[in-house]
Amino acid sequence: MHGWHFQSVDLRERSAELVQLRASGAIFMGCTFAQGVEELLRSRGALIFPTLPHIPFNPYRGHLYTGAELFEGIGTAPYESVPDARIYQWSMQAGHAPALHATLATAMHDHAISDALDEFLEHLDRPVVGVMGGHAAARGSAQYAQAAQLGRALSQAGFLVATGGGPGAMEAANLGAYLSPYDGGTLESALSTLAAVPGFRPSVSNWARAAHAVVQAYPDGAQTLGIPTWFYGHEPPNMFATKIAKYFTNALREAVLLDRSGGGIVFLPGAAGTVQEIFQDACENYYAAETAVAPMILVGRSYWETELPVLPLLTALAKGRAMDTMVHVVDSVEEACALLTTN
């Protein structure tokens, strides 16, 4: 078994096979064994990472999250009791100087999530386009509807829509992509339903239940990806991402989201977080080989040229580089989608 890697596997029914194999060099992470087998494997040279006690998540999980898992019980229970909230509260209690077992658990969890994400993307038959935007766009607003239309258009054009997985423009883009197999009237109806609860304050429970009602009404949505973080745990993840890669470490989450969006990134109006993402992506494109540069599309000319004048600096940075022809500013989601399809 040298080089074999078992991650969160129930091996209680495989004792006969395990005792016949040479265990030296095998790694078992959070696996379950029949009585006596774990000690036998360890004595034969296997490296075994045990299940960690008093942790409200599986640090060795082998698959991505879903909204149903993170919000389990939201139909009848308050948000504070669902797994997503319990994990966030645990991370807050760990504090700035967490115990060793907590540090190890979060690090191994984030590694496992990256591994699961790459496995998911490896079998994907379409490019990933990232949609970045602020959390402040309220349900019922023009900005929210614009992001939803963008997500719908991108999904229908053959892209997998990936977002930061949170509320606001991120939720809207995941919503539009999720409902893309349905007609336009379905999206309008969903937008109307969600507008009754514009934001996650003062009640995350009511905000989540409105989304839950939409998912229940339209269960056959398209695949869409969310990559949120418990670092911003006060902002809940949205339910319209069918696959959720949720991280503890925000810096890792940001890097993964930008790196995996190989089909390009659309930047909707946002604040400091979105600006950070723009220049983090610009840095990657600045140093990338010509064939590895991905399109950067800023939606809202007036916003990015005047209100938050990112475009002049970005354009100056791109001059003379391979990314020069890949930086665009548009005023409509239709233009953004057309540029990505062309590229």
Question: Which pLDDT score, from 0 to 100, does residue 95 have?
Answer: 63
The SS3 call for residue 124 is coil
d(CA 30, CA 7): 6
Residues near 126 by Cβ (< 8 Å), separated by ≥ 6? 158, 159, 160
Extents of the domains making up the chain: 1-51, 118-263
Could you report the average pLDDT of every consecutive run of 10 residues in the chain (343 residues)?
94 96 96 96 95 90 96 96 96 77 92 96 96 94 96 97 97 98 97 98 97 97 97 94 97 95 95 93 94 95 95 95 95 93 82
Question: Which pLDDT score, from 0 to 100, does residue 50 have?
Answer: 87
Question: Which pLDDT score, from 0 to 100, does residue 218 have?
Answer: 98
d(CA 170, CA 132): 7
Q: What is the CATH number of domain 118-263?
A: 3.40.50.450
Q: What is the pTM of this model?
A: 0.94
Question: Which pLDDT score, from 0 to 100, does residue 300 have?
Answer: 95
Question: Which pLDDT score, from 0 to 100, does residue 101 have?
Answer: 83
Question: Which pLDDT score, from 0 to 100, does residue 53 have?
Answer: 80
Question: Which pLDDT score, from 0 to 100, does residue 94 have?
Answer: 67
Task: With residue 251 as reference, give the H or E element that holds it.
Answer: helix 250-260
Question: Which pLDDT score, from 0 to 100, does residue 96 have?
Answer: 66
Torsion of CA 47, 51, 52, 55, to 10 degrees: 150
